[in-house]
Homo-oligomer: A and B are copies of this chain.
Amino acid sequence: MTAVVDRPTSPASGLVCRNCSATYPLGAQHACFECFGPLEIGYDADLLARVTRADIEAGPHSLWRYAGLLPVGHDAATRVDSGTGMTPLIRADRLADELGFTAPVWIKDDSANPTHSFKDRVVSVAITAARELGFTRIACASTGNLANSVAAHAARVGMPSIVFIPSDLEPAKIIQTAIYGGTVVGIEGSYDDVNRLCSELAETDEFENTGFVNVNVRPYYAEGSKTLGFEVAEQLGWRLPEQVVAPMASGSLLTKVHKAFKELTAAGLVPPSSWTVFGAQSAGCSPIATAFANGWDVVQPVKPTGIAKSLNIGNPADGPYALDVVRSTGGAMTSVTDDEIRAGISLLARTTGVFAETAGGVTVAVLKKLAASGQLDTSKETVVYNTGDGLKTIDAIEAGARPTAVIPPTLKGMRAAGLLTP
């Protein structure tokens, strides 16, 4: 593809290599020609600085209110807007109490997005970019949530889709992908195998028309996660929290929240402040947290296991960048076991009414663990990202969430079960 995104009013100035800082025009390129490093979107700082709070607040009640800080969608007619974003920021006082916080704890609940995960953010931006770049089919490599979102958005806009997933995903995630009528390919292998295949396919003539949202459209796609940072700042009344805890799969989300906070500060949309970023992984797949614990700069790939399948990326593309962010802000990373994950899901549900998928259980369990160890400061305001919905991973918790009792429909039955009490 040689099409170039050409909208003079976009703040995006080009593609920039994250390794060697080489620059390229905005197009369907994702790796540096010089050093093969990953590309990201570069912005014109003057254009970002022109964005005002009033502009944003006058925008739609979706992530597109931040179009002035995104690479595409400046022209509203080009946007794929499924109502994604502006998800609730819930003050979790009962969770804070239980974990010994003296400062507020907030849950940013992205299970409220249309397909019930944060992936609707990156897909909204990626499909908007893919259409502008001239792609006529949309694809992805996914651990599940991305598959749901790509297939749903493709159906919404009437675009053919082909989605690649590990064949052993949770049933709910497979069904929620297949129901939209696109092509769904189960791969006998791990997510890392799926990702490798998609990188190969993106180079074939047969897939020249196909935008892989997290391969050849990745620089645009990844920018969608910044809205998780923008929204928290706006919802807190245009200021940044002191601490954030985010789950890590590829590591991209965590780095983009940090990027969002930097951009908001540089643009004068929030007062300058310092913040600390914490990263969460499962014990079954903790390559980034392991590198952090060992003081490594390099992330050693692992073979993932465990119930937090949406985080099971053994060779995380943004791992080194996530390490940089956490170290440079004075944060920490750790990992939690499957039992801790299940307990994290329960803790969040019974204290806030938010039913998270296993990834959310990881993040809450890591919050608890880091608070207990003192690595996370319980006297500082903290935002915790819940990125997905419990209905997608019910098989992981089935045994732990059963009726209190099963009885006949009579007062006698109630009394016998000890339930006829105030």
Contacts and interface: CB of A to CB of B under 8 A. Distances in A.
Given A401-B179, A403-B184, A409-B187, A158 B94 contact: yes
B349 A185 contact: no
Top-7 shortest CB links A-B: A181-B350, A156-B353, A186-B406, A193-B409, A391-B391, A178-B401, A152-B353
B407 A179 contact: no
Interface in A136-165: 137, 152-156, 158, 162, 165
Interface in A199-223: 200-201, 204, 206-210
Contacts of A419: 162, 183, 185
A116 interface: yes
A172 interface: yes
B167 A353 contact: no
B353 A206 contact: no
Nearest to A87: B83
Contacts of A405: 185-186
A88 interface: yes
A65 to B, nearest CB: 12
Contacts of A404: 178, 183-185
Interface in A52-96: 61, 82-83, 86, 88, 90, 94
Q: Do most interface residues of chain A lie in helix, strand or loop, or is the interface mixed?
A: mixed
Given A390-B179, A394-B171, A398-B171, A407 B350 contact: no
Given A174-B402, A350-B181, A421-B206, A186 B407 contact: yes
A100 interface: no
18 contacts: A61-B61, A152-B349, A152-B353, A155-B351, A155-B353, A156-B352, A156-B353, A165-B403, A174-B402, A175-B397, A175-B398, A178-B403, A185-B405, A185-B419, A186-B406, A189-B408, A206-B422, A391-B392
A126 interface: no
A112 B88 contact: no
Given A137-B422, A186-B406, A208-B422, 15 more contacts: A88-B114, A112-B114, A116-B391, A152-B355, A165-B403, A175-B397, A179-B345, A181-B350, A185-B406, A188-B408, A193-B409, A194-B409, A197-B409, A210-B422, A389-B391
A187 to B, nearest CB: 5
A403 B189 contact: no
A176 interface: yes
A10 interface: no
A187 B407 contact: yes
Contact of A187 (B61, B94, B402, B408): B408
A411 B200 contact: yes
Contact of A201 (B153, B181, B414): B414
A88 B410 CA distance: 41
A101 interface: no
Interface in A352-377: 352-355
A43 interface: no
A29 to B, nearest CB: 20
A191 B175 CA distance: 28
Contact of A406 (B167, B201, B209): B167
Contacts of A187: 406-409
Interface in A207-264: 207-210
- Which residue among A86, A114, A165, A209 has the maximum number of chain B CB atoms within 10 Å of its CB? A114
A180 interface: yes
A391 B197 contact: no
